Amino acid sequence: MKKATALQGLDEQIEDIRLLSRRGFLGKIMAGTVATGLLPNFALAKQSKKPTVSKAIAPDNDSFWNHVADQFLLRPGVSYMNTGTGGPSPRSVYQAQIDSIQQTNADRFSYASHVYNTEFKDAVRAKLAGFVGCKSNEIAFTNNTTEGMVVGTFGPDLRPGDEIIYTNHDHSSGGQPINLRCARQGTIPVMVDLSSPKFHPPKDPSVIIAAYERAITSRTKMISLCHVNYTDGCVLPIKEICDLARSKGILTLVDGAHPPGMLDLDISSLGCDMYAGACHKWMLAGQLTGFFYVRESMLDRIWPTVYSGPVNGINLYGKPQSEPYLGRSQTAQKYEMHGSTNYSLGITINAALDFHNQIGPDAIESRDRYLVERVRSGLQNVPGITIFSSEDPRLCAGLVSFRIKGVKPKLLSETLWQRHRIYIRNVTHDDIDWDANRASMHIMVTTRQADNLVAAVEEVAKEHNA
C-alpha cells in the first residue's frame, strides 16, 4: 500500500515534468503578459517542424524581448554577451534539468522506464532534427562540437598523402583533430591563411570562396570549415564551398559550434556531408550537449570512433545483432553508442528546443541580427574603433567583433566587467596576428544592454584616443 502511494507520487511528479515541457516557458511563466496568442503550443517532443508564425514578433519589440530576457537566471546587473563560449539556460531549461537529476536519484527505474525512455529519446531526436533541418536518422547526440569534429575528421577512410583543408581562423577543435590524424596516418594538413585584413571583413563571400578554391588540389579529400568563425564572427558561404567541394568529390565537415540557436538552421540545404553542432551555446541547453550530423547517403562511409555497438552486424558474442539495435546502429545513432549517458542533459535539449520553438528560430535570428547591427552601427562612428564584422547579412549574424586602437582587447574585456558588469570576451592569437574583442548578441541581451555596451566601449575609446 505504502509502495503504491510512493509510486503514485512519483507518477505525478513525472507528469509534472511532462507538463512543464509541454507548456514550456511562455505557457507556464508568461501567460497573459505577452501576446501568447501569436505563439504555437507544442506537444512534448512530438513536433519536428519549425513554427511559421513567429515572423509576427518584430526584432525591436522590446516589451516582448525583455520578457524573454527575464527568463534567464543571470545575476541582476550582469549583461551576458558571451553565449559564443557558453549559453546560460533559461529558467524552464534549468528547472527541467534540476527536476531530472532529482527524479533520477529518487527512482531511476521509473524515470528510465517512463520518462527518459527510447520513445522519449526518439521524439527529442526528431524534434532536434526538425530544428536543425535534417532527418532523424542523420543525427546523433554528442557531448559537444569537439566530439563531432573528431568523429568527422577520423571517420572517413583516407590514405597517406590525401590532403585535408582547414584555415588558421578555425577553432583548435576543428584544426587539431586534423593535425592529429595527419601525424598518425600520413594525411597532409593544408592550412588556408585567413590572416590578411581583406578577410576581416571580406568585401563579399567570393573572397572566402576563392581562398578555399586556391587551396584545392587533385589530392584534396576533405575540407573542414567553420560555419561561423569564432574569431571575427564571420558567417562563411558554406553552401558555395560545399557545392564546390562536392563537384570535385571532396568531403565536407562543418564546425557548427555557433549556428544552432543563432541561425534558423537548415543543414540539408547547406550541402555538407557532416556537421558538428553545439547545443550548449546559442541553443541554451545544459553544458555538455551537442550533435553530429551525417548526410544519409554518407552514413556507411563515416566510421564511429568511441563505439561499443555491433561490428558489421555482429554482436560481442559473434552472433548477428538483433533488432532494433541493429537498425539503430545503421543510422547516425552509431555515433552515440558510447556508454552511459546523463539523462538530465537530454532533458535540457528537449526543453531548450521547446524554448526556441515557442519563440521561433526565425524570430530569434532576426533579434540577434538586430542587436548586432545596433552595436555595429553604434560603434562604427566612434574614433579609434575598427570593426571586423561585415554589414553584409550573408557574412554576419550574432557575433560582433571589434578593437579599440591602442587598447589590448583583454584590457577592454576586463574594464567592461569591472566598470559595468558587461561580459564580452577577447580572442587573442599572436601567431596569426589576431587580437580582438567579441560580443555575442543573443536573446538574454536587452536593447538597453546593447546600447550600454556601445556607450561603455566609446568611453574607453575616448580615454585612449583623446
Ligand X SMILES: Cc1ncc(COP(=O)(O)O)c(C=O)c1O
**From the CB of 401, what's the least distance to ligand X, in Å?**
12
Task: Between 72 and 275, name the residue whose CB sits nearer to ligand X.
Answer: 275
- By beta-carbon proximity to ligand X, the closer residue of 36 and 287 is 287
> To the nearest whole angstrom, how small is the minimum distance from the Cβ of residue 287 to ligand X?
9
User: Within 10 A of 125 (CB to CB), how many other CB atoms are there?
Assistant: 26
Alpha helix ranges (H) inside 30-117: 62-69, 91-106, 108-110
User: Nearest distance from residue 255's CB to ligand X, in Å?
Assistant: 5
3-state DSSP call for residue 96?
helix
Residue 90 or residue 174: which is nearer to ligand X going by CB?
Answer: 174
**Residue 295 is which amino acid?**
R
Cis peptide before 59 (omega within 30 of 0): no
Residue for cell digits 501576446? 35
Measure CA of the first residue to CA of the last residue in the chain; give whole Å.
Answer: 79
Q: What is the DSSP letter of 88?
A: P
| Nearest alpha-carbon partner for 95 in 437, 354, 293 | 354
CA pair distance 401, 81, nearest whole angstrom: 12
**How near is the Cβ of 19 to ligand X at its closest, in Å?**
31
Q: Which residues pair with 428 in a beta bridge?
A: 435
CA–CA separation, 306 and 191 (whole Å): 27
The CB-of-234 to ligand X minimum distance in angstroms stands at: 11
Give the up-direction half-sphere exposure of residue 84: CA atoms within 13 A in the CB hemisphere: 26
Q: Which is nearer to ligand X, 125 or 171 (CB)?
A: 171
Q: Which residues bind ligand X (CB under 6 A)?
A: 85, 144-146, 171, 173-174, 226, 230, 255, 257, 278, 290
Give min distance, CB of 360 to ligand X, in A: 24
Query: Which secondary structure element, helix H or strand E, spans residue 86, and what is its range?
Result: none
Residue nearer to ligand X on the CB measure, 172 or 217:
172
Question: Do β-strands 274-278 and 79-80 pair in parallel, antiparallel, or remain unpaired?
Answer: unpaired
CA distances from 220 to 150, 211, 433 (A): 19, 14, 27
d(CA 368, CA 283): 13
Residue 120 or 230 with smaller CB distance to ligand X: 230
Cβ burial, residue 323 (10 Å; 0-12/13-18/19+): exposed
Q: What is the Cα 194 distance to its own chain's centre?
A: 23
Least distance (Å) between residue 116 CB and ligand X: 22
Residue closer to ligand X (CB basis): 85 or 206: 85
Nearer Cβ to ligand X (259/310) = 259
Do the strands 220-226 and 163-167 form a parallel or antiparallel pair, or are they unpaired? parallel
Q: Which is nearer to ligand X, 111 or 230 (CB)?
A: 230
Instruction: Of 21, 432, 391, 463, give the one whose Cα is nearest residue 234.
Output: 391
In the complex, least distance from residue 265 CB atom to ligand X, rounded to whole angstroms? 15
Rg of the chain in Å (alpha carbons): 23
CB 278, min distance to ligand X, A: 4
Q: Which amino acid is at 99?
A: D
**CB burial readout 74-109, b (16+ within 10 A) else e:** eeeebbbbbbbeebbbbbbbbbbbebbeebbeebee
Residue (38 or 306) nearer to ligand X, CB: 306
Minimum Å distance from CB 136 to ligand X?
22
* Residue 155 Cβ vs ligand X, minimum distance, rounded to whole Å: 17
Minimum CB distance to ligand X smaller for 256 or for 360: 256
